[in-house]
Amino acid sequence: MKLMHIKNYLFVTLFLVFGFATAQAQTGNIQGTISDENGIYVSGANIFIETLNKGTISDFDGRFTLVGVPEGTYTLQITYIGYGNVDQEVSVASGETASVVVELMPTNYQLDEVEVAAQGLSGQAKALNTQRTNLNITNVVSTDQIGKFPDANIGDAVKRIPGITMQVDQGEARNVIVRGLSPQLNSVTLNGSRIPSAEADNRNIQMDLIPSDMIQTIEVNKAVTPDMDGDALGGSVNLVTRTAPQGFRLSATLGSGINFITDKRNLNASFLVGDRTKDGKFGWMLGAVIQDNDFGSDNIEAEWTDEFAFTNAEGEEEELEVNPYTNVAEQRTYLVQRVRRSFSANFDYQFDANNSIYLKTMYNWRDDRENRYVLAQEILDAEDIGSDDFTITNGIPTRFPAEIARETKGGIDNNRNQNARLEDQRMQNYTLGGNHLWGNVKVDWFTSYAKASEERLDERYAQFATEYTVINDNSDPEFPIMTAANPGDANNLSAFEFDEITNETQYTDKMTSIFLSMLKFLRTFLEKEMGP
């Protein structure tokens, strides 16, 4: 019975589709692309036919479609912020699709003693046009705007958008927070395809996996629309990779520096090349990025309390009310090597004005090697503190016995770990899609496969411990410190006894795959009546 219903539904749908297309046989369509002076596609451009009061806007690939256009010759009026207006003549034949390629040029405005040039605005102009023409609350940033800042990964670039903050790891932005909502309540997509998390215990997307050089546009949707996943309460971040240009394009960067904490060099290199065949049908874009950053950090971590307990002469536990003081203090040193690699290959093929397909791929791989050294000092429990073992000055404990621990975090000595804790995170995404126009019906489809993984091989923690009396100095609340009452205790490493060691191996991978097909009656949903 259910099979019969499905067959009937398919028959009715196909009947409506072809019937609707046939009904428009006395009209034609216009489909085209819009690019800038560098051959880069632009989105958010207005395309308008004044005589028909019919118009639309270009998408992220610079494509636009106008359907149901009567036979004849018309003038397309293309307007775009920061660029000169273009009037393009096009002839439409019944039952056919006219193809148009438009190139926009930046404009210069001569004022009294002031010259305003569009060169600096050209990149962000694309983003502003897209932001202006989107239906929901959106912020869009282009690759040219990203390049003005020294952001190594895409997380550092996203945090510059209004309403966005990031959770930071070792100085690099990692997890996105939209409008104050935690990272697990937001979603991240790559070319509209969902990216899985590489970590096992959460759904946070590691934004520092992707170098900023690999992304063409960042689109932050702060109001989720019906065509998006419904699990993003805060918002959705869509990363658009670079597409094939209209002509040959080559870009390369190389940079280096020194980190003054580790006195080691940093290396950054990127390579981008793309072109399109002379007939304009086949386009390709290849990109590769490597970033090798050897850095470190020193920090102090402390816990505060207003309670103090000890054992009195009668052997009973006694509690005292004191002013807040640090009962735990840790001095930490981190030595980190972060190697980030990314590879991208994007292709598209235009069969004719009505049919095209594309393939977008990206592979990101980050090795994060870390050695952590900790000197941890914590006040002993009440039963281990006698009435003569401590000193309280002005209501603050300034001397007391503490447990001292020296901890190390590292790994085994091999070619991969290199005697450090290795966090191997990878993310890959492959998307195959197409755009087809049948009369007044447009079919957009794509299928994608994405995988994220994290591997930690032989992660080792070791701890040695002892006890001695410390001097607690809280005179500077921002930098509290505990020091040995007898300096010789801190330097006597033989007094530290082996406490514990752990060795752990972890592996996590997550995969997502999707096939999505959208059937659009363009006359109803896509066309907008707008002014020139």
Q: Where are the domains of the chain?
A: 2-110, 134-241, 294-519
pLDDT for the residue 127: 54
Structure tokens belonging to residue 118: 């569009």
Confidence of residue 517 (pLDDT cuts 50, 70, 90): low
- State pLDDT tens for residues 39-70: 778 888 889 998 888 888 888 778 898 888 89
Cα–chain center distance at 17: 39
CA distance 140 to 221: 9
What is the reported pLDDT for 21? 47
Instruction: Assess contact for 516 and 446: CB atoms under 8 A.
Output: yes
Is the pLDDT reported for residue 439 higher than 80? no
Beta carbons of 239 and 183 less than 8 angstroms apart: no
Burial of residue 52, with CB atoms counted within 10 A of its CB: 0-12 exposed, 13-18 middle, 19 or more buried: middle
Longest dimension (CA), the chain: 106
The confidence score (pLDDT) of residue 166 equals 87
Topology classification of domain 2-110? Immunoglobulin-like (2.60.40)
Radius of gyration for the chain, computed over Cα atoms and rounded to the nearest angstrom = 31
Nearest C-alpha neighbor of 273 from the set 252, 250, 253, 243: 250
Alpha-carbon distances, residue 488 vs 321, 485, 495 (angstroms): 32, 9, 10
pLDDT greater than 60 at residue 532: no
- Is a pLDDT exceeding 90 seen at residue 330? yes
What is the rounded distance in angstroms from the CA atom of residue 108 to the CA atom of residue 119? 9
Give every CB contact of residue 148 below 8 A, 6+ residues apart in sequence: none
Q: What is the mean pLDDT of the chain?
A: 83
The pLDDT value recorded for residue 124 is 52
Highest mean pLDDT (candidates 92-101, 120-129, 332-341)? 332-341
More confident residue, 5 or 279: 279
Q: What pLDDT is stored for residue 134 in this prediction?
A: 54
Q: List the Cα angle 274/209/505 in 5-degree steps.
A: 135
Q: Which one-letter amino acid corresponds to residue 49?
A: I
Rounded Cα–Cα distance for residues 482 and 474 (Å): 9
Question: Is the Cβ–Cβ distance between 503 and 456 less than 8 Å?
Answer: no
- Give the model's pLDDT for residue 496: 93
- Tens of pLDDT along 275-295? 999 988 999 999 999 999 999
What pLDDT sits at residue 111?
53
Q: SS3 of 515, please? A: strand
pLDDT in tens, 449-478: 999 999 999 999 999 999 999 999 999 988
Average pLDDT over residues 119-124: 48
Predicted confidence at residue 129, as pLDDT, reads 58
Closest CA to 131 of 145, 152, 114: 145
Q: CB-side exposure of 524: number of CA atoms within 13 Å?
A: 6
Q: Residue 360: is its pLDDT beyond 90?
A: yes
CA pair distance 133, 528, nearest whole angstrom? 11
3 state SS of 486:
coil
Rounded-to-10 torsion of CA 423, 303, 262, 337: 10
CA distance 184 to 232: 8
Over pLDDT 70: what percentage of the chain?
Answer: 83
Band the pLDDT of 137: cuts 50, 70, 90. low
pLDDT for the residue numbered 481: 93
Residue 527: is its pLDDT beyond 70? no
Pick the closest to residue 147 from 330, 39, 315, 289 (CA basis). 289
pLDDT at 375 over 90: yes
- Burial (CB < 10 A; 0-12, 13-18, 19+), residue 137, is middle
Q: Phi first, then psi: give them for residue 153, nearest 5 degrees.
A: -120, 165
- Residue 510, pLDDT > 50, answer yes
Cβ atoms 241, 268 nearer than 8 A: no
What pLDDT is attached to residue 128? 55
Tell me, rounded to whole angstroms, the distance of Cα 26 from its chain centroid.
Answer: 47
Q: How confident is the model at residue 10 (pLDDT cuts 50, 70, 90)?
A: very low
Q: Select from 3.90.1150.10, 3.90.580.10, 2.170.130.10, 1.10.1240.10 the CATH code of 134-241.
A: 2.170.130.10
Tell me what pLDDT residue 444 has: 84
Say if residues 457 and 418 touch (Cβ distance below 8 Å).
no
- Give 21's strand partners: none
Three-state secondary structure call for residue 131: helix
pLDDT band at 525 (very low <50, low <70, confident <90, very high): very low
The b/e string for 245-258 (b: 16+ C-beta within 10 A; e otherwise) is bbeebeeeeeeeee
Distance CA 159, CA 287 (A): 24
Average pLDDT for residues 313-333, to the nearest whole number? 93
